[in-house]
Chains A and B, each alone.
Chain A
Amino acid sequence: MSELLRIEDFSFSYRHRNTTISILKKLDILIFPGEVVGLVGESGSGKSTLAKAILRIPDFKYEVSYKGSIYLNGNDLMQLNDTQLDRIRGNEISIIFQDPLSYLNPMFTIHRQIKEVLKHHEIANGIVADEMIRRCLLNVSFNYPDRIMRSYPFELSGGMRQRIMICMAMITRPKLLIADEVTSSLDALIEKEILDNINRLCSDYGTSVLLISHNLPTILKYANRIAIIYFGHIVEIVHVNNAQKGARHPYTKALFSCALAKVKDGVFPFIEGSIPKPHDVIVGCPFHLRNCPRAIDACRTTLPEMESYDEGSFRCHNPYPVEG
């Protein structure tokens, strides 16, 4: 099976006061067509940066540099210029962010905002576009699309706005949808509704999803494969069925038990130490500093290479053995 998106040896860093702070370090991810890949990480691990870096969404504050390549159907996105990339943004790869209100223009109606997307990518215009918008709004479970089309972003609730964002992202029928913490600020019930919407639309359109979240239970419910990111490194990519028992990397194991609050003898699981900051310099495997239970001498000196096995890959010197 040929992959849709291949992120290969990808690094991202920015310069801040004459120091280079690298956020993403040599990432390798494959996303196959129609697949939902979950990206889990704690704050500061670089998961949102990856979402923006794939589409090279500019950060005006700092001087950034990219290394490596991202292939979309064999075309290297890093080689494209801004005009060419503009055609891909929102058309072939769409992105949804955590806070929809700051991405919707408060002065435009929902109808105009969505139509703008269609016009920009020269997909449809006029009545055809209107009909497309109406159908798309119905698809994201709005019962009265005409009323929604006339309203302004501030008139809608958080969940409704997020559904508008999904509509805007999916109306172009992209090949890949990047959902960056889409439900972090929403409640469990609304979260379910939104993710169900995304899931249904994407399986209808055959769109792959890169589902980014810090909330592991959510990812476990919706993703096919899970990539765990820690301190800018992908430490493990594992299939969801295998995720809880078959995880090889100690961080993955620890994170799962923390996130699902697997209490042992009345004690909540936790990981020692604090999350490394992006500007920290760590020699060796970054996880050995947090009392990794399987740390060996090699972890303190060298960063392990990515190792693949039949159900996934991991980056560890001394992984847990395969069970059974």
Chain B
Amino acid sequence: MDSVSLIILKEGQEAKIVSIMGGRTASKRLADLGLTPGTLLRVVRKAPLSGPVIVEVRGSRLILGRGLASKVFVKNELPRSRT
């Protein structure tokens, strides 16, 4: 399966980061907070009208602006949703 942008995922879906298609600053910033290729994450919440996305990663939650989240490409390995 090809990788998709993180923002395509629905609330509750889990996926693994494949790559980050951003500039150096953006990808470095994400890496500092533990979002590196190979990391598992879960989309917790998406704000309406292209607002930010809340993801759960490494046991805690992060808020990512929509533009930044769209640069994170993931492989939807476990297409199951938790409620």
Answer yes or no: do A and B interact: no
Interface residues of A (CB under 8 A from B): none
Interface residues of B (CB under 8 A from A): none
